Amino acid sequence: MAILVVAAHDGKTVRANVANAVAAAGQMGSDVTVLVAGSNCDEAAKSAAAIQGVAKVLQADDAAYANWLAEDIAPLVVKLAPNYSHVVMAADSVGKNIAPRVAALLDVAQVSEATQVVSPDTFVRPIYAGNAMATVQTADKVKVVTIRPTNFKAAAAGGSAAIEKIGGEGAKGLSSYVGAELSKSERPELTSAKIVVSGGRGLQSGENFKMLETLADKLGAGLGASRAAVDAGYVPNDYQVGQTGKVVAPDLYIAIGISGAIQHLAGMKDSKTIVAINKDEEAPIFQVADYGLVGDLFQIVPELTAAVEKK
Amino acid sequence: MKVLVAVKRVIDYNVKIRVKADNTGVETANVKMSMNPFDEIAVEEAIRMKEKGAATEVIAFSAGPAQCQETIRTALAMGADRGILVQADGELQPLAVAKLLKAVVDKEQPGLVIVGKQAIDDDSNQTGQMLAALLGWSQGTFANKLNVADGSVEVKREVDGGLENIKIKMPAVITTDLRLNEPRYASLPNIMKAKKKPIETLAPDALGVDVAPRLKTLKVEEPPKRKAGIKVKTVAELVDKLKNEAGVI
Ligand SMILES: Cc1cc2nc3c(=O)[nH]c(=O)nc-3n(C[C@H](O)[C@H](O)[C@H](O)COP(=O)(O)OP(=O)(O)OC[C@H]3O[C@@H](n4cnc5c(N)ncnc54)[C@H](O)[C@@H]3O)c2cc1C
Ligand SMILES: Cc1cc2nc3c(=O)[nH]c(=O)nc-3n(C[C@H](O)[C@H](O)[C@H](O)COP(=O)(O)OP(=O)(O)OC[C@H]3O[C@@H](n4cnc5c(N)ncnc54)[C@H](O)[C@@H]3O)c2cc1C
């Protein structure tokens, strides 16, 4: 049976992690359909059709879908679901919000943040902040799965799937969108950046974080943070890397003034190369770092910024 | 308005997890258990609503073994009024917990249910959304700020790109994120007072809920271990390694 990937998008293009979800879906079965629900989402549907491995795109255009309210999107997915063996979403803030609502309406379990597809009904997923990996099997008719994007190599571009327009289900009137306060940044998005520069409580202030911005911009890097730095108000919430924030796995992760609590490690320990800069040589972050530099970040960061070439 | 909060008993976040040698799960014997940190935030938010006069009663719910009483007592010591324990000794998955919560909601008719966005043991991030679905209610997930007014709740949500504001009709389900509030510690007098607050114990059967697990856990293993690398002495050495050894800059 076919697999339904539910895509998040901004109206123009589907999120980068949809290509990871398509790749994961390809391991569950061969016939992958992508649902693009939105308001005036022609362009987004086209971008989904251009992902390799996508057999068909369903485009549901309805004003009710403009802002991805779970109460309105879930019934559409539930209506389509019986035609599919799996409903797959990336485990980002959209997937985490919608997929469980879909699963409960279908009276099925959900597999959260699968990191590996063992077989179409068996998945590996991290529990306890990634300190244990559980292999779980589901017998449900429709399998609702969110996947951790960093664990599946994105499907390439170059597809040319057919786009089929389907109707919407309208608004349920339970909730309404008021607005967003999005962090503006020209930097690469944290979860897909090749290099991530991340700061912790050691930075001491939001003002000092500018130092990391300069370094990040020189490296073409995304910017992340520990929970402590977010809680202290140095940076916005969407910078948080970790068990309860974002999971990243860049080629290079530079942890600066971060101690390396398990909750933080859960979000970055799959990075290819890890650098830690910390004045405490006993800091747990050094246990996972490929290259550790013990010292005062206020000296080291400007020096490092001067030493790397601009990308 | 009554507010129902869910409090889950989990291994304390400071405990180093050990996977059992037979790969059936993680070691839970003789480890410190605590209230799921996101649920402390849920309890705090409900108590503040009561203090502001927006709520009349705060009910703490937990599902699991008899020891969940302790978790409920913690909520009562923080300021919740009474507790409901659904006692079940086997594994409880999010769909089952959501069904138990629904049965209690049907009985108690709260205006709001506040649960954690995720439990730090199983990391599912499902229960609140599932409960909202089963009730046909609206959901305000990953809440950073709440404002209850005139039969609806304005919810500021923590999302991938920053913050998002939505307005949802009540009754509603809220799931808490880290920045919603800073939970209080229970004072000694309140811990004493909590001992006298009532806890009702129910069985899943009595609520008509089948809690049999849907997901079968085949095995639980250690994640691959990352080896510690080397310490470099200077920035120049670091840059050289990153360029010529790791090839990442
Ligand atoms: C339910 C729950 C969920 C959580 N989720 C997350 C999560 O998703 N992500 C997350 O990151 N955390 C999370 N945490 C928090 C986590 O437990 C730690 O508290 C947090 O990661 C610590 O942040 P930090 O390393 O920046 O701060 P600290 O632990 O205070 O470390 C600061 C480090 O900076 C170093 N330092 C200070 N000054 C300097 C200097 N001048 N030069 C060099 N080094 C310096 C210090 O040596 C220290 O190692 C969670 C906690 C709980 C309970
Ligand atoms: C191998 C394995 C074996 C397990 N064995 C057992 C077992 O023997 N017994 C057992 O109890 N669990 C067991 N569990 C854990 C159980 O599967 C999880 O508790 C369940 O999946 C719920 O996931 P979650 O709490 O992460 O849900 P989430 O959706 O992340 O929880 C979100 C919120 O829902 C609420 N909530 C969830 N569960 C409860 C609850 N029980 N009471 C009150 N509020 C709640 C809380 O507010 C919580 O913050 C086991 C898990 C694994 C992987």
The secondary structure of B13-55, three-state, reads: CCCCCCECCCCCCECCCCCCEEECHHHHHHHHHHHHHHHCCCC
What is B2-245's CATH topology? Rossmann fold (3.40.50)
pLDDT at position A309 = 82
8 Å CB contact of A112 and B126: yes
C-alpha to C-alpha distance for B96 and B102, rounded to whole angstroms:
10
Q: How far is the CA of B139 from the centre of ligand 2 (A)?
A: 20
Nearest ligand, measured from the Cα of A200: 1
> What's the token pair of residue A164?
């089929």
Walk me through the domains of chain A, giving residue ranges and CATH numbers: 2-166 (3.40.50.620), 190-307 (3.40.50.1220)
Helix, strand, coil percentages in chain A from 3-state DSSP, rounded to 5: 30, 30, 40
Question: What percent of chain A has a predicted confidence (pLDDT) above 70?
Answer: 100
In the predicted structure, residue A303 carries a pLDDT above the cut 80? yes
For residue B167, which residues of chain A lie inside 8 Å, CB to CB? Answer: 175-176, 178
In the predicted structure, residue B227 carries a pLDDT above the cut 90? no
| A276-298 residue pLDDT tens | 999 999 999 999 999 999 999 99
Question: What percent of chain A has a predicted confidence (pLDDT) above 90?
Answer: 97
Q: How far is the CA of B127 from the centre of ligand 2 (A)?
A: 9
Strand partners, A223: A197
B149 or B92, which is more confident? B92
**Pick from A152, A177, A167: which is nearest to A89 by CA?**
A152
Question: What percent of chain B has a predicted confidence (pLDDT) above 90?
Answer: 97
Spatial CB neighbours of A241, under 8 Å, sequence gap ≥ 6: A190, A196, A198, A224, A225, A226, A247, A248, A264, A267, A268
Regarding an ipTM greater than 0.90, the answer is yes
CA atoms within 13 A on the CB side of B24: 3
Q: What is the best residue among A201, A235, A241, A262 to mutate for testing ligand 1's pocket, by most ligand atoms within 8 Å of CB? A: A201
C-alpha to C-alpha distance for A278 and A294, rounded to whole angstroms:
5
* Band (B21; pLDDT cuts 50, 70, 90): very high
Interchain CB contact of B117 with A (< 8 Å): yes
Q: What is the overall mean pLDDT for chain B?
A: 97
pLDDT at position A311 = 67
Average pLDDT over residues A154-177: 96
Q: What is the overall mean pLDDT for chain A?
A: 97
Interchain CB contact of B20 with A (< 8 Å): no
The ligand 2 atom at the shortest distance from the C-alpha of residue B5 is 47
Q: State which amino acid sits at residue B110.
A: P
pLDDT at position A115 = 98
Residue A90, helix vs strand vs coil: strand
Average pLDDT over residues B153-179: 97
pLDDT at position B230 = 97
Of B98, B168, B218, the CB nearest to A137: B218
Of A71, A252, A304, the CB nearest to B235: A304
Which chain A residue shows the shortest CA-CA distance from B129?
Answer: A101
pLDDT at position A184 = 85
- Write the DSSP assignment of A136-148 as a string of letters: EEE--SSEEEEE-
pTM metric for this prediction: 0.91
C-alpha to C-alpha distance for A7 and A11, rounded to whole angstroms:
11
A168 or A183, which is more confident? A168
In the predicted structure, residue B159 carries a pLDDT above the cut 90? yes
Average pLDDT over residues B214-243: 95
The ligand 2 atom at the shortest distance from the C-alpha of residue B129 is 29
Q: How far is the CA of B93 from the centre of ligand 2 (A)?
A: 6
For residue A104, which residues of chain B lie inside 8 Å, CB to CB? Answer: 95, 98, 129-131, 133-134
> What's the token pair of residue A32?
């992958």
pLDDT at position A310 = 73
pLDDT at position B228 = 86
Average pLDDT over residues B40-50: 98
| B92-112 residue pLDDT tens | 999 999 999 999 999 999 999
3-state secondary structure A255-270: EECCCCCHHHHCCCCC
The beta strand positions in chain B, using DSSP E, are 2-6, 9-11, 33-35, 57-64, 82-87, 112-116, 138-149, 152-159, 162-169, 172-176, 199-202, 215-221, 230-232
Average pLDDT over residues B164-192: 97
Residues having CB closer than 6 A to ligand 2 are A 127, 134; B 6-8, 25, 36, 38-39, 61-64, 90-94, 97, 115-116, 118-119, 121-127, 217, 220
8 Å CB contact of A182 and B162: yes
> What's the token pair of residue A253?
């992760």
| A61-85 residue pLDDT tens | 999 999 999 999 999 999 999 999 9
8 Å CB contact of B123 and A103: no
C-alpha to C-alpha distance for A127 and B229, rounded to whole angstroms:
26
Cα distances (angstroms) measured from residue B19 to each of A136, B27, B32, B219, B223: 16, 6, 16, 10, 10
Residue A238, helix vs strand vs coil: helix
pLDDT at position A185 = 86
Interchain CB contact of B16 with A (< 8 Å): yes
Average pLDDT over residues B30-55: 97
Helix, strand, coil percentages in chain B from 3-state DSSP, rounded to 5: 30, 30, 40
* Three-point CA angle B193, B197, B203, nearest 5°: 150
